[in-house]
Amino acid sequence: MITMHFTRYTDVKAFYRDTYNILMRHEAQNVIPLGNVIIGNRGEDKEGWRDPVNWFMGTVSDAGDIVLTAIMTPPHNLTLYATDNVFNAAALDCLLDELMGADIPFPGVMTEKSLAEQVAGRYAARTGAGYEVETNLRTYALTEVNPGVEIGTVRLARESDMAFLPYWSAGFQSECFNRPMAVPEDVEAFYSVIHRKNRYILENNGTPVSMAGITRELETVCTIAAVYTPPYFRKKGYACACVAAVSQIGLDKGYKKCVLYADLLNPVSNSIYMKMGYKPIGDSLALKWTR
C-alpha cells in the first residue's frame, strides 16, 4: 500500500511552483484554481478574498507525485483537482484527515462533478453533515464565435455606469447563486471592477442593456463571467450579443479559448452559448454542507 503525503503551504509562490504545471494539464477545466494561484503569485491584488494570507493551499502526493491539489480562498468553497482527473480515494481521505484534524472549516466544495460527489459522500460519512447543490454547472469552451449574433455595441464599463452597475451585479449574484437580492453599501469593489478594465457593457441605441466580463486570463484561456441582463431587457437577444462580442474580444487578445460556466437548470443560457459556438467540455458541482 502506497502512503499518501500531505503538504500544506503558507507560501503561495511555493504552491504556484508545485501545482501550476499540474493544473495546466486541464487548463480550461481548472480556470478557477489556476486564476487563484496566478493572482497569488503576482501578489499585485490583495483586495478581499484575493489576499493569500487567508488561503488554504495543500497537495496530496503519491510516491512524490502530486495526485490531488486543493485551494480555498475564503469565503469561497474548497476547489480540488485530481491530477489527470484520475480519482484516488486514499488521497481524498488523506486531505479530509488533514482538514478535519486541523479543524479547518470549509463551507462546501466546487470541483468536477464525480469528484465533488466523492467529497460529499466521504465528508458526510465522517460528520453526518448533509449537502445541497448550490449550482450544477456545465463548462463550455469556444475557439471561434459563430456569425449572426450582432446587436448594439460593446464598450468597457466606466464610472458613469455606477448608476446601475451595483444593481446589475447584485442581480447577477442573486440569480446565479440563489441568494437574496442585496446591493452592498461598499461601492469600492465596483470601482475596482471598472478600474480593472475587464467588465463590458452592451449598449443598444445608447442604452445599456447587458453586461459580461473577461476574468481569469491564463496562458491560452480566458473566462467569460458576470453575464447579466436586467429583466426588462430579456428575450431580445442582448445576452447572446453581449457574450458573443466579449468572447470575440477575448479571442482578439490572443487567447485560444474562451471558457464559461452555465447552470444546467437554466436551459435558455445553455442553448444561447451553444448557438454562438460554445461546446461543452465537462460538468462540475458546487455543493454546500447542511446540518
Q: Mind listing the pLDDT tens digit for each residue in 199-228?
A: 999 999 999 999 999 988 999 999 999 999
Q: Is 88 helix (H, G, I), strand (E, B) or coil?
A: coil
Asked if 202 and 192 touch (Cβ cutoff 8 Å), the reply is: no
Would you place residue 1 in the very low, low, confident or very high pLDDT band (cuts 50, 70, 90)? low
pLDDT for residue 238: 93
Q: Between 198 and 44, whose confidence is greater? A: 198
C-alpha cell at 95: 486531505
Phi-psi region for residue 222, left (φ > 0), alpha (ψ -120 to 50) or beta? beta
pTM reported for the whole predicted model: 0.87
CA dihedral (265, 270, 272, 278) in degrees, to 10, reads 160
Contact indicator for 260, 246 with CB cutoff of 8 Å: no
Q: How many Cα atoms within 13 Å fall on the side-chain side of residue 173?
A: 12
Q: What distances in angstroms separate CA 99 from CA 82, 95, 96, 112, 140, one per listed residue?
A: 17, 6, 5, 20, 31
Question: Residue 181 pairs with which residues in a beta bridge?
Answer: none
CA distance 6 to 96: 10
Q: Is 226 left (phi over 0), alpha (psi -120 to 50) or beta?
A: left
More confident residue, 61 or 271: 61
Do residues 227 and 194 make contact, with C-beta atoms less than 8 angstroms apart? Answer: no
Q: Distance between CA 10 and CA 191 in Å, rounded?
A: 30
Contact call for residues 148 and 109 (beta carbons, < 8 A): no
Q: Are 228 and 211 in contact (CB under 8 A)?
A: yes
Select the more confidently predicted residue: 192 or 249: 249
What per-residue confidence (pLDDT) applies to 192?
A: 82
| pLDDT value for 156 | 97
- Mean pLDDT, range 247-270, rounded to an integer: 92
Q: Which positions ≥6 away from 192 have C-beta within 8 Å?
A: 47
Query: pLDDT tens for residues 136-184?
Result: 999 999 999 998 777 889 999 999 999 999 899 888 877 776 667 767 7
Q: What is the dihedral of CA 60, 65, 68, 71, to 10 degrees?
A: 70
Mean pLDDT of the chain: 91
In whole angstroms, give the CA distance from residue 120 to residue 132.
Answer: 10
pLDDT, average across residues 56-81: 95
pLDDT-derived band of residue 269, with 50, 70 and 90 as boundaries? Answer: confident
For the four alpha carbons of 38, 42, 21 and 68, in that order, the dihedral sign comes to negative
Cell of 24: 495546466
**Angle at Cα 264 formed by Cα 215 and Cα 120, nearest 5°?**
90
Percent of residues, the chain, with pLDDT higher than 90: 72
Alpha carbons 176 and 135: distance in angstroms, whole number: 8
Tell me the C-alpha distance between 82 and 45, whole Å: 28
8 A C-beta contact, residue 6 and residue 17: no
State the average pLDDT over residues 257-285.
90
Cα–Cα distance list, 111 to 36, 65, 134, 135, 237 (Å): 14, 21, 12, 11, 31
286 vs 133: CA distance, rounded Å = 6
